[in-house]
Structures are given as C-alpha cells and as structure tokens.
Amino acid sequence: MKIKDLLSKEGVSLNQTAADQNAAIDLMVALHDKVGNLNDKAAFKDAIVAREAKGSTAVGMGIAVPHAKTAAANKAGLVAITVPSGVDYKSLDGQPSKLLFMIAAPDGAADTHLEVLSKLMTMLMDQSFTSSLIEAKTPEEFIDLIDKQEDARDKKSSGAEAAAPATTSSGIKLLGVTACPTGIAHTYMAAEALEQAAKDQGLSMKVETDGSGGAKNVLTDAEIKDADVIIIAADKNVEMGRFNGKKVIKASTADAIHHSSDLIGRAVKGDAPVYQHSGSVTSSASLDNESAGRKAYKHLMNGVSHMLPFVIGGGILIAIAFLLDDYSLDPSNFGSNTPVAAWFKSIGGTAFGFMLPILAGFIAQSIADRPGLAVGFVGGALASTGATFAAPGGDIPSAFLGALVAGFAAGYIVLAIRKITDGLPAALEGIKPVLIYPLCGILVIGLVMCAINPLVGALNAWITGVLNGMSSGSIVVLGAILGGMMATDMGGPLNKAAYVFGTAALATASQSDQTGWMIMAAVMVGGMTPPIAIAIATLIFKNKFTEGERKSGPVNFIMGLCFITEGAIPFAAADPLHVIPSLMVGSAVAGALSMAFKCTLMAPHGGIFVFPVVGNVAMYLVALLVGSVVSAVLLGILKKDVTK
C-alpha cells in the first residue's frame, strides 16, 4: 500500500485561506466527509478538537498534522490543504502553518494503513519536499510529488537494509525510543528527526517507534547492552525497566522534532544520567521534573481504573437484587429475601468485595512493578476486614481510606525491600521476586495495617458519622460542591477527585445508610450535565456557536446521557472563561437537587443505562434536566455572538 492509496485528488485542496485553527479544521473535516472516510462528521471533529486541546498537532516548520483515531472514521484516510498565507495553528515555534494534513483512523485501523501514514510523517521532515508541496498548482501535481518522494525513499531504504551496518568514527552507539498518545504523527516524526540528526553528525542510530500499529524496530537486549546512550522521546508511558543501568536522556516528542541536534549532541558528550529503575516497568518516560503530586495522581488513577470494573459490575448486580426482591417478606434482609435476589446479591457482593484489594494492589504495582501487586492486594484486604493486633480476624474496617494508605505504603515498602536486598549475591536474584519480596512485603504491610486500621477506621467512622449527621441543607450543599467539581476541569484532577470521593462513598453505603449512594448519584448527575447543556445551547442559542460547533453539538446529548463528561471539552477549550463557569453552575444545581430529592445510585458509572437502578429516578431526571437547562441558559447569556 502506498500513500496515494489513502489520499485522493478529491481530498486535496490547495491555496486555501483559514482565519484560525478551527476554520482550518472545518476545511479538512469537510474533505474527509466528502471522500467518504467518515460515518459521523460531527463526532470526528469532536475527536480532532479534543486531541488539539491536549496540545497542538502543529509540529513546526510550517506543518500541522491533526489526527484522530476514532469510531467516527469508517476507514483510514488522509486529506491535505495548503494555506500559502499561513494559519495560526498554535505551533510551538510560533510560525504559521502552511501545509496541513489531517489523518483519520478507525479504532480498528490495520497496521498497514498506519505504517503508510507513518511513512508520510517521516517524509515531511524534508523541508525541500514540503516547500514543493506548498507550491503545488494542482491536486494531481501534489499527489505526484508525494508518490515520487515515497518511491525514492523506499528505494533508499531497500539499499540501506541491504548494506552492512554503518560504523562511526566516534564509536558512540546510540539508541532511541519515540512514543506519543495517538501514535500516528509525532512518534514517527520524532524518530525521523533523531535519525537524521545522528546522520548529520556522522552517527548511526536505531530508533524504536511505539505507534498505533504497535512497537516497530524494537530494540533487542543485546543492542541495549551495547548502547552508550539511549534517548527516550515520549509523551506517554514506555517500558523503562530494560534500560536499567544505562545512560538515558528523557525528552518529549516535540523536543526531538525541534531540538534533535541538541539531544544528539548531549548524547555524544555523554551528558546523560544513569537510569536506575525503581518503579513500574511501564513507568513514565516523561520529563524528569515530574512533580511528586503528579506521580501520586498517576499511581492513584492506576488503582482506580483497575478497580472500577469490579465496582460497576458488582454495584449494578446488587442494585438488581433490590429491584427483584420483595421488601415485605423481611425488611431487615431486603435484597436477599427471594432466591433470585439472593443470587444476584451474592454475585454482586463478591465482585464488590474485590474493590479495596484491587485498588491497593494496583496502586502498589504502579509504584513498585509486579512485586508490589501481591503486597498491595493483601494490604487492601486487611483494610477491608479491619484487622488489628487485638483482633486479627477483623474489627475496625478502614475501608477506602485504609486501602489508599495500604496501596501507597505497599508500593514504597517493596521499593525499600528491593533497595535493602540490592547487595545480596547474584545467585539469589531468582528468588527475590518469588520469595523475598512477597514474604517480607506482606509481613511488613500486615504490621502496618494492623497498626493503622484503628486510627484510619476511626477517621472513616467519623467521616461517615458527619455525613449521616448532616442536615438536609448541608447535604444539599455537599451535592452542589461535588456536582460543580465534576464540571470544573472535566476529566482533570478536580473531576477525578469528586468521582473518587463518590466511589469511596459506595464502600460505606448500605440499605440502612444510603448517604453513600446519594453522594454517588450527585456525582454522576453532575458529570452528565455539561455535555447535555452544550447540546441544548447549540440548538437554542445558535448565534453563540460556529457552524461546526452547531453541527457537533447534538452529539453531546448522547455523550451526556452516557456519562461522558469529556464531550464538553472542545467547547470549554474554545471559550473557557464563559463556558466553564456556566457548566459548573448547572452541574452544581443538578448535584444539589439530586441530594435534595434523596436520589440514590449503587453503581459508579453507566449514565442512562443504570437509571433503572437509580432510587427516585423521576426526580433524578428532573435534577438532570434542570441543571442542564441552567447551564444552557447561562451559556446563552455569557457567550458572545460569533459574528461579533
């Protein structure tokens, strides 16, 4: 397959003008739709804008490569526009973009498609080639230039593969790894930049690319062993354990694209620290100055993401048990009175019971790799049972808070054990992960949890008591705060904090104490409101939104009903000062009303699909509708007309 198989002349539009980034995106999305690459034009644009919100895809040198891998694309494809006067695409080098390609890739895109697209990305590093594309007079000439460049590159690559490996006068052996979240554009452009910069300095360099099609050009153990310096240019997690003891330079893909010569220069001088692996094999290869708070957040999210399937599945099954049971048979045993209800509750309860061990286990694994998993799992289980020295069988459960402590404690306990045992003879390396780490780690975490369970359990009981003792007014205020937090940064730390708090509340809820279920209901309705409000506003206040926003707006009805708060991100990113406050107020209203109506929810996710198990579902719908309308009206008031 060649690039021209993905790029037709109908998908090329030359000598365009674009007022801004959004206008350029609209032009390219329209081309994709025209050539039949999309099944949902509005959703595809949302995916493109959401990617831009994470960081501009303008790579500098007058080039931008917006891209998205989404179900809204029905096949892999490419379109291109030239803007000779330039368009501000928020490039890191501050220069306007004149050559823009937009890549569409479906979720199940074949590796061959992605490899072809990656080849184009590396070709764009040739400035004379990109200049000729910008100056092309017709789409046919544009595609012909690409085809000839591709043929020349393939011929050159074939010759290089047949040739013997190059030797360098300096004797420096360099390796590299590049990776970006989408794995379509920056991954390959960074690799090409590093390889070219190395070649310019008389060096050869092998670069592993961790793209959408999987890892390519994978570094072997022998190559890593012989390497003098390894450059990691990545914006996502890559496997780092294999580089233990080697000189490693860490950078972003943007650094590799724009400052590749500097990185190679550092490598030649040996200006690189020796990497000491002490965390997860998939620990982040992001910049060295990552804050402690950011690291803790990533460890926590690793635990939460693995925990959620157990909580969601178990919570819904428990809720179904209550729906199917007969309360009149035995109110004190509600949920297990009938055989069918008892079966659902047993299965759901078993799944739900893994919540705390899984949370703690995967927090510990994120910190200390696989040896931390068993230690964290046991710590979470001890938090669940409430084991103490006086009552080893369980006495004072420390619940969610205890599991958090257990996860972090277990991770750092294992790291400490690894450090202590570093001096043991090499012959004992094989028994460390199967005997020393789990035995010592579980023993120590057992001592720690038995010591802290009474304290954390008492704190947990106090928090539960405070929540239960809240007046109706106070509980409504809590609902407003949680709802507002869900709309503050939509998928960010505050949103996640509110969500984790709601999930934690589920662990302490019961039929006799439904406060935790009420909290979870307020959290979810607060997260459903922003996308629905956006959709309503785009229908009512059309003069406040661009044509592209009006077309994509209704899609947010579906996203909101599915509890996908991130659907509102493109709109918030385009006008944060007016959109975010509007969404926060509506979500706060929805959360407050949910609390006021005493709506309950036993599952932490699902949106409209879990409404059958929502307590007081009619008023829950009222809370959702009122909150959404409030935000929509505020958007109509605060946003400026697009024509002004």
Between CA 195 and CA 120 the distance in angstroms is: 16
Q: What are the C-alpha distances in Å from 297 to residues 59, 304, 305, 408? A: 29, 10, 12, 11
Q: What six digits make up the tokens of 6?
A: 């993905």
Q: Which helix (H) or strand (E) holds 521?
A: helix 515-540
Enumerate residues 6+ apart whose C-beta is below 8 A from 289.
none
Enumerate residues 6+ apart whose C-beta is below 8 A from 445.
375, 376, 378, 379, 382, 406, 409, 410, 413
Q: Which residue has the tokens 């939104």?
A: 545
Q: What are the C-alpha distances in Å from 491 to residues 374, 448, 494, 527? A: 29, 33, 8, 10
Fill in the amino acid letter for 424: L
On the 0-12 / 13-18 / 19+ scale of CB atoms within 10 A, 381 is: buried
DSSP for 333-387 reads: GTTSSSHHHHHHHHHHHHHHHTHHHHHHHHHHHHHH-THHHHHHHHHHHHHHHT-
Fill in the amino acid letter for 637: I
On the 0-12 / 13-18 / 19+ scale of CB atoms within 10 A, 273 is: exposed
Active-site option among 32, 113, 180, 605:
180
Q: Residue 216's beta-bridge partner residues?
A: 209
* Other beta carbons within 10 Å of 297: 15
Between CA 566 and CA 577 the distance in angstroms is: 17
* Other beta carbons within 10 Å of 54: 12
Q: Are strands 63-64 and 58-60 parallel, antiparallel or unpaired?
A: antiparallel
Catalytic residue at 605? no
Q: Are strands 97-105 and 77-87 parallel, antiparallel or unpaired?
A: antiparallel
240 in Cβ contact with 281 (< 8 Å): yes
Q: What six digits make up the tokens of 268?
A: 């030649």
70 in Cβ contact with 103 (< 8 Å): no
383 in Cβ contact with 449 (< 8 Å): yes
Between CA 224 and CA 208 the distance in angstroms is: 11
Q: Which residue has the tokens 């024509």?
A: 643
On the 0-12 / 13-18 / 19+ scale of CB atoms within 10 A, 412 is: middle
Q: Which residue has the tokens 């010569």?
A: 261
Catalytic residue at 113? no
Active-site option among 32, 67, 258, 299:
67
Which positions are annotated as active-site residues? 67, 180
